[in-house]
């Protein structure tokens, strides 16, 4: 069995905040592994499921972020889960929104939920799934930033400007060579139309700083591509 823990804070006032990325992710995983019945045990909300015949226990500690280690330790003891079968999902300031990184072991990097788990488990040897939330803009305090609910576009899966830029560049490199066919040109046209109609409206920035900001630059350039296309019609 694997124990998959999403970190967050209980209560409506914290629902869908950046700091509760772990809770939201575990809810989505529950839909995928058939874990629909949640109950309270060991100071956490838990639900059982299975993934390719592997038993999975999902958990959302209800003791608040800074003391997540207590419920996690109790669940590991109750279900006989060793640290190498523990997966912790948490928010990460130093990773861009929409980006996920996986690592095994390591320190807590200042994350109080991880700090508590490492302390109670007496081990760092567990897997972490780090969900990026980005750094706070300007001089906003970290606490205010992580406890603020996501903007609509972030919550619904906004697309970074650099992602759109790369798609446009890839289409151009494939279809706009010196030697090209009508089929390639049609495919590029359809691809650009999809990007302009579907992805540009969902473009969102991870960095809102008014100083040098690569996100702003990429967003302006992506929009410029669209304006150029309209001007040639």
Catalytic site positions = 19
> What is the C-alpha separation between 67 and 42, in angstroms, rounded?
13
The residue to which tokens 């798609």 are assigned: 167
Q: How far is CA 186 from CA 70, 168, 195, 215, in A?
A: 59, 14, 14, 30
> What is the C-alpha separation between 125 and 76, in angstroms, rounded?
14
> What is the C-alpha separation between 158 and 148, in angstroms, rounded?
17
């Amino acid at each position: 069995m694997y124990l998959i823990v999403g970190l967050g804070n209980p209560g409506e006032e914290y629902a869908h905040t950046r700091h509760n990325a772990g809770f939201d992710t575990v809810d989505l995983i529950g839909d995928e592994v058939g874990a629909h019945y949640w109950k309270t045990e060991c100071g956490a909300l838990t639900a059982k499921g299975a993934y390719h015949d592997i038993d999975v226990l999902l958990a959302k500690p209800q003791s608040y972020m800074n003391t997540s280690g207590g419920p996690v330790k109790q669940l590991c003891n109750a279900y006989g889960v060793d640290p190498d079968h523990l997966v912790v999902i948490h928010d990460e300031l130093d990773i861009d929104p929409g980006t996920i990184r996986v690592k095994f072991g390591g320190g807590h990097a200042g994350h109080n939920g991880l700090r508590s788990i490492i302390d109670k488990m007496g081990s760092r040897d567990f897997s972490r799934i780090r969900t990026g939330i980005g750094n706070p803009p300007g001089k906003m305090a970290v606490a205010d930033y992580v406890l603020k609910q996501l903007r609509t576009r972030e919550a619904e899966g906004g697309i970074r400007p650099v992602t759109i830029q790369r798609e446009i560049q890839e289409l151009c490199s494939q279809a706009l060579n010196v030697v090209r066919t009508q089929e390639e040109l049609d495919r590029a046209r359809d691809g650009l139309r999809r990007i302009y109609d579907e992805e540009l409206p969902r473009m969102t920035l991870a960095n809102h700083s008014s100083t040098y900001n690569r996100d702003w630059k990429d967003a302006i350039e992506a929009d410029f591509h669209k304006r150029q296309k309209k001007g040639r019609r």
